[in-house]
Each structure stands twice: as C-alpha cells, then as structure tokens.
Structure 1
C-alpha cells in the first residue's frame, strides 16, 4: 500500500480490526519512510447496480459521490464520521439487496438517502430536501418541517 503522504511504497500494518458488523476490515498502517499513520479499509469487491440519471444516462455507482452528498448535507452538524459511514453502508446493502442491474438516481436520493438523513439529523434532512426537491418557496420548507412536528 502506497503512503498517501509521501507516496512511498513500503508501509507496515500496525493494527487490524474487524468492523462491528463484520462487513469490512480496518487496518492502521505506518509508512516506513515518513512514519506517518493512516487507515485503510478492506471490503469485498461487489458489483453495484448502474445508476440511471434523470436524463437517461447510465453511470457506475460511486461511493465517493454518496459520501460527498452526506458530508455536504451534514456540514457543520453534530454527526460523526462513523454515523455517516454506517448510513452509507446501509444504503449500499439495500442497493445490493434490490437484486437489479439498474437503479434510478431518484430512488437513491429519495428512498435511501432521505431516509438515512432523517434518522441522522433533521436539519440536514431539510437542507438536503430543499435542494433535492427543488423547493420554490417558503411553503415547501414549511411542509417538510411540519412532517417532523406530526
């Protein structure tokens, strides 16, 4: 494994742990050159369904895009990285369990991501919903906030 700091090829595994749910292995590594430590995750190589965009284009599923959306919605909110990783893991598990070759991006956003954000942080949920659903006026915000009050 190449060091992300100095690109040196010689790194040593210092600690190995299984994730709580057993879905991946976490390894702490140390670079033999610069001696900095970093974490890697080992996951099974699985094939996710292709994502069908609104314009009909089909693209590969990218975990980084999902993580980026979560980080954007949860920016400056009291939600830990572990909680975000857990939400992404649950979404990926649901995607794999669908058993389909293609999934519309709207399903990922609406059914999966919105549900996870609702569990994690209500402010982030409203923030994401305002962009995802293209709110036009204050009444749209009010309707979403009223959902939580019921």
Structure 2
C-alpha cells in the first residue's frame, strides 16, 4: 500500500481488526521510510458498479462519495457513526445484489432517502433538498408534511385500542 505522506510503495501492517460489523477489515499501517501512520479498510466488492447520471454520463460507483453525501446530510446531528456505517454498507450491498452492472443515480438517491428517513428526520430533509432540487420554501413544507403524516400513521399503529370486555358488549343481553 502506497504511503499517503511520502508516496513510498512499501508500508507495513501493524494491526488488523474487523470493522463495520465484520463487513470490512481495518488495518493500521506504518511507512518504514517516513514513519507515517495511516489506516486502510479492506471490503468485499461483489461486482464492479457504474452509476448512470441524469446527464447520461456513466461513472464508476465510489462508496466514499456516497458516504460523504450522507455525512453532509448528517452534519451536527446526534447519530451514532456505527449506525451510519451500517446504513451505508447496507445500501452498497443492496446495489451489488441487484445484479445490474449499472445503477441509475436516481435509484441510489431513493435508497439513501429511504435509509435517512428511518435514521434522522433533519438529515432526510437536508438530503431531500439536494436530491429533489428544491427551488422554494414550499418544497420544504411538502417534505416536512410527508414526514409529519408518516409519524402520525406510525403513532396510530402503535396505539391500538384495548379489546372490549364482555361487560361492554351490548349484544350480550
């Protein structure tokens, strides 16, 4: 592995351990030339993925780009980094398991939106504002209204009425 500090082609692994719930290996490395220390991650890649952009341009899928966009949406939000990493790994696994060599950028955006919706409402709205290309305040109101309706629906499902007792049954006379 090339040293990011001096560019030396040789580095030594000092420590390896599982990361991301066993989906990756974290390696601590040291450069024998400049003594620089750095970390690398090794992940399984099932297939080479490409993203088909709205413009028609075809680019390689880059996991770190996905992670950066999610991190921007989650900036200054109280979300456990391990949950975020599991979310990103889950999206990447879903993309790889689709079996397609090309994935439309809209499909990736939809997966991120779905995942952020369950993780953090503010991050969801932030991401939606870029993904859906908000132009005015009413666009924000619309998405916040969607969130409010879904939270109300979830609350209604969790509060179920207690079963009626025999005393309450008017047909039991």
What TM bracket, shorter-length normalisation?
0.7 to 0.9
Does 1:140 find its partner at 2:139?
yes
User: Which 4+ residue blocks in structure 1 deviate beyond 3 angstroms?
Assistant: 78-84
Q: How does the TM-score come out when normalised to structure 2?
A: 0.74
Kindly state the Cα deviation for residue 20 of structure 1 after the two structures are TM-superposed. Answer: 5.1
SS in 2 for 1:90: helix
Q: How does the TM-score come out when normalised to structure 1?
A: 0.83
Alignment of 1:8-47 (within 5 A): 8-19=8-19, 21-47=21-47
Instruction: Please give the alpha-carbon distance, in whole angstroms, between the structure 2 residues aligned to 1:14 and 1:133.
Output: 45
The gaps in structure 1 that reach 5 residues or longer are none
Q: Aligned residues, how many?
A: 149
Q: Which has the larger radius of gyration?
A: 2
Q: Deviations over 1:35-77 (max 9, x none)?
A: 3321111123432432222232322212232122112222333
Give the aligned partner of residue 64 of structure 1. Answer: 64
Root-mean-square deviation (CA, aligned residues, Å) is: 2.1
The gaps in structure 2 that reach 5 residues or longer are 153-173
Instruction: Please give the alpha-carbon distance, in whole angstroms, between the structure 2 residues aligned to 1:94 and 1:136.
Output: 31
User: Is the Cα–Cα contact under 8 Å of residues 48 and 95 in structure 1 kept in the other structure?
Assistant: no
